Amino acid sequence: METHIPDFALPSSHPTLNGQKTAKSARDSFSAYNSKYLTLPQNRSSCHRSGTNGALEASGVSYRSSIINNYVEGTPREVRDKASQSGLHFKDSKRKVDYVLAYHYRRRLARHEPGAASPEPRRGSASVALVSNGGTGKGRAEPQQQQQDDGQRALREWPGLPGLEAVEISPLDALEEERRLQREEYEHNLLEAGLEIEKDPENKSQGLSFVRVHAPWQVLSREAELLKIKMPTKKMYEITEEKGILKRLNEIWCKLTEPLQPQVPQQENTKMKTLSYPFSREKIYLYNIKDRDTFFDNATRSRIVREILKRTSTKARNSMGIDTLIANSVYDAAYPLHDGEYEGQNDDMNERKLLYQEWARYGVFYKFQPIDLIRKYFGEKIGLYFAWLGLYTEFLIPSSVVGIIVFLYGCITIESDIPSKEMCDQHNAFTMCPLCDKFCDYWNLSSACATARASHLFDNPATVFFSIFMALWATMFLEQWKRLQMRLSYFWDLTGLEEEEEHPRPEYENKLLQKKLKNKNITTEKSNENEKEKLTWSDRMPGYAANFGLILFMIMLTFSAVFGVIVYRITTAAALSFSTNETTRSNVRVTVAATAVIINLVVVLILDEIYGAVAKWLTEIEIPKTEKTFEERVILKTFLLKFLNSYASIFYVAFFKGRFVGRPGRYVYMFEGYRMEECAPGGCLMELCIQLSIIMLGKQLIQNNLFEIGIPKLKKLFRKLKDERTALKEMDTNKSKDPQQWDLDYILEPFTGLTPEYMEMIIQFGFVTLFVASFPLAPVFALLNNIIEVRLDAKKFVTELRRPDTVREKDIGIWYNILSVIGKLSVIINAFVIAVTSDFIPRLMYQYAYSQNGTMHGFINHTLSYFNVSQFKAGTQPENSLFAQEVSFCRFKDYREPPWSPHQYEFSKQYWAVLSARLAFVILFQNLVMFLSVLVDWMIPDIPKDISEQIKKEKRVLVDFFLKEEHEKLKLIESFIARDKRKCRNGTKSKRTRAASFSQGHRSPKGSFTSFSSQHTVV
């Protein structure tokens, strides 16, 4: 006979909230589960020793409750295989597996005398077994110490029991026993919360076991009401569409992009939207519940179960939630199941397979992303990430086109560039001063012709326009994202989403517990018992001090790495200059630059991995209370360290290299005999371009792609080999040959958050915007990378990772603030790159202030100063000069007075004029671009007009719907009351008539009539 599962209310003493429910109430509440979900086998009389102090444990005689598996040993294998052939249900093939807990166990087998039979248990045993999906026996809620005493007492009651003896157990066995007790208590508390569980039989000495969790309708409806989850109602309303030319353009765009749309199920009527409202059991008649099993989708079910798992506590070690148990190695993992296999021979289509076919394959790179399906399967937080990544990739298309146009403009105008022609003219060659002391000779400027021509590709007037364009592009991208985010919030029912109360992290709970235990010994007269204890700034002070010191150390480490590369360049250039090989000496600059960039890239990649791990550790010792606070602090630290690591060398080349060289006769030396390095004759912009492109492409190719593909596969292979090696020690004869879905998902890599994914794109966004003036092709390479990155991330989420817990978020959080800061910083940096690093301002000044005919003829000669070679310091002039002609004056790039001037080698008037123009350009450029950005921000509203109107309309429809439903409900109640009144009046009249006729037929002995009806009326 089946017993109805009660719908447990959630009073203040709910066990998952405060753990105060007594054992008696537990027995009363859950005795119904036993009869419904499990039949215990009758012949389980085997006994073995286990636990602390060697207490006796058996099916019939046990000092504590034991978990009886849903997969009992008496169940035939074919029944089990048939029952869970899908791998997504319990053995009854009806109840869904909403969540899975995995753990490794290690059993101690009992030692029996040779030939001794297993003893029969005594009748009237101390406790009854706890059933996994139902009742609980006596004594389960007893404390652990009392359970140990019961076990010892049971052992003493069996004097002379053959084949048994008390044994001492190792610390490893004691730890395993403690974990087993915590698992039993935790699973018992899950049962009290209304969940249903199913376990694998632990029929090996050691191995991996799974606990499947199912949430029945009563639990789902209760938790959905507590979490205020919006669910679809019966009401649908029409979405107001755009009219006029916008509607026509939208229709044309839909027709053009139809081949790019993924083939996923769409809403039948896109002009209608279902009205959603937070779930309420009192208003259950409002919701469109066709089937209780499918009303809550898999993502919502797993989210509800996860909330219960997180708040369910155990008394042992005051463990609060599944996260603490995983941190203490009581469980290995906890995860929801994927919807099935993503590829295979079966024709059953599920959402995971659909996502793989239409989204997670490289063959569909040209298609749009099925954002709604992604959100449905993975949750809103991951859906917002892929929506942001898709929008960012789309915005890279126009910036790539403009960048290619700027680059082509440089290619087309390179032949007409007068400064490049003058530099390459060998007839009017300029004799340049030596690049190093003693061993370097004079050289002709025409030998740097190739560098000068290449510099023009990126250092031309179009670069200024492109910098302004990219600054406005960043602003428009952020504004468009806010609009898209609001649109998604409306269609995903995230408007008005309240922040849920987060559970404390396990580390915070442990630290707080240590503080409470410490304070128990310190009693004060003025103690406030009502004040809730929490960690104060003094408790966190050691963590804050360690954070400050280590972050400062790592910043210095980054600068030291850049300084080390600088030293390498200087010393290598000096060493190669000593070479007797003419080819080596002529290619010193190219060799040093190429090897230094590669070394710098390797250092950046290594430090990136170190900084990510250190930032996480530093945040852990701060002991943040909630996961959200922890994540935000990790993001800030990681971004700070990785930003400095990625851009430190680029900042050096852009703004510091060649600025502190000195002049011939008075050079600046880093070490004795080693001069500070100079920029190339064409300027530092070309070297900046090379540095930026190598680091950007190297990080994208190695870190973003190879690491993302290789590391998860290696971890998965290692975990699989480890489990197979453990399984080979003892074969499980009861295990099905075909792995179930929970087995397949356990092998996958656990999901660790979106921080690495966002961080890659944020650093790339910096490469695209911060130094785009020096490398206009950066958006092109970013676009090519992101086309692969979208599918790579998709494949990783669908095939390589366990299914993440669904998290409802209405925005991307702190990442938007970081993007906004980078966008504003890019305006300032690009202004300085154009003004300081490039030759744009000197050329402009020469053409309009110093040129006699208003052209660029004579620009190279204008930028070069003279030096009298006779004024070289002793020992620094070239030895054995092989230069073709005798040199009296050599040239160097700077604005200084000539040797024949009264103020020789001092900065000239042109230097101060150009410097003033550069500073004026920075101020003008910055204010102009900032003004245009603010103008764009003002012109584009954050909330689209149609969405704003729809939100207002939805509120009106919701009020009207509620009033209508309540009015109909009231009318129905009034009709029932009126009908009951009519029935009552009709019944009263008929009773009176029957009573009167009955009384007339009965006279009293004295001849009077007894009025029964009147008596009845009085009553």
Output the CA angle 720-723-728, nearest 5 degrees.
120
Q: Which of 806, 808, 810, 741 is nearest to 306 (CA)?
A: 806
Please give the residue that has the higher pLDDT: either 167 or 622.
622
> Do 325 and 186 meet the contact criterion of CB atoms below 8 Å apart?
yes
pLDDT of residue 8: 37
Q: How many CB atoms lie within 10 A of CB 775?
A: 25
SS3 sequence, 453-468?
HHHHHHCCHHHHHHHH
Of 783-787, 993-997, 1015-1019, which gets the smallest average pLDDT?
1015-1019
pLDDT of residue 511: 73
Q: What is the pLDDT of residues 856-870, one digit of tens each?
A: 888 888 889 999 888
pLDDT of residue 401: 94
pLDDT of residue 120: 41
> Do 432 and 890 meet the contact criterion of CB atoms below 8 Å apart?
yes
Q: What is the pLDDT of residues 416-429, one digit of tens each?
A: 888 888 888 877 77
pLDDT of residue 306: 92
Task: With a cut of 50, say whether residue 45 has pLDDT above it.
Answer: no
Task: With a cut of 80, say whether residue 924 has pLDDT above it.
Answer: yes
Helices in 157-297 by DSSP H: which ranges? 171-192, 217-227, 245-256, 292-295
SS3 sequence, 944-1005?
CHHHHHHHHHHHHHHHHHHHHHHHHHHHHHHHHHHHHHHHHHHHHHHHHHHHHHHHHCCECC
| Size (the chain), residues | 1019
Q: What is the pLDDT of residues 620-647, one digit of tens each?
A: 888 888 888 888 899 999 999 999 999 9
pLDDT of residue 124: 36
Q: Give the predicted TM-score (pTM) of the model.
A: 0.79
pLDDT of residue 732: 47
Percent of the chain with pLDDT over 70: 76
pLDDT of residue 992: 58
Cα 68 from Cα 38, distance rounded (Å):
9
Task: With a cut of 80, say whether residue 607 has pLDDT above it.
Answer: yes
Cα 264 from Cα 675, distance rounded (Å):
65
Would you tell me the crossing angle of helices 217-227 and 298-311 to the nearest 10 degrees?
Answer: 80
Question: Please, which pLDDT band fits residue 117 given cuts at 50, 70 and 90?
Answer: very low
Q: What share of the chain is helix, strand, coil (3-state, %, to 5)?
A: 55, 10, 35
How many CA within 13 A on the CB side of residue 575?
A: 8
Q: What is the pLDDT of residues 935-954, one digit of tens each?
A: 888 888 888 888 888 888 88
Per-residue b/e over 218-250, b at no fewer than 16 CB within 10 Å?
Answer: bbbbbbbbebebbbbbebebebeeeeeeeeeee
Residues 6+ apart with CB under 8 A from 15: 21, 26, 189, 192, 193, 312
Percent of the chain with pLDDT over 90: 21
Q: What is the pLDDT of residues 465-489, one digit of tens each?
A: 898 899 899 999 999 999 999 999 9
Residues 6+ apart with CB under 8 A from 256: none
Q: Strand, coil or helix: what is 504?
A: coil
Task: With a cut of 80, say whether residue 895 has pLDDT above it.
Answer: yes
Q: Which of 646, 634, 637 is nearest to 561 (CA)?
A: 646
Q: Which of 335, 291, 300, 275 is nearest to 225 (CA)?
A: 300
Average pLDDT estimate for 387-403: 94
pLDDT of residue 918: 92
Average pLDDT estimate for 130-156: 41
Average pLDDT estimate for 592-607: 89
Q: What is the pLDDT of residues 739-786, one digit of tens each?
A: 888 888 898 888 888 998 999 999 999 999 988 888 899 999 999 999
Q: Strand, coil or helix: what is 423?
A: helix
pLDDT of residue 148: 45
Question: Please, which pLDDT band fits residue 217 given cuts at 50, 70 and 90?
Answer: very high
Question: Please, which pLDDT band fits residue 214 given cuts at 50, 70 and 90?
Answer: very high
Task: With a cut of 50, say whether residue 61 has pLDDT above it.
Answer: no
Task: With a cut of 80, say whether residue 170 has pLDDT above it.
Answer: no
Average pLDDT, the chain: 77
pLDDT of residue 265: 82
Task: With a cut of 60, say whether residue 440 has pLDDT above it.
Answer: yes
Q: Which of 272, 292, 276, 197 is nearest to 233 (CA)?
A: 276
Task: With a cut of 80, say whether residue 1000 has pLDDT above it.
Answer: no
Q: What is the pLDDT of residues 285-325, one digit of tens each?
A: 888 888 888 889 888 999 999 999 988 887 765 667 888 88
Q: What is the pLDDT of residues 557-588, one digit of tens each?
A: 999 999 999 888 888 887 777 766 767 766 77
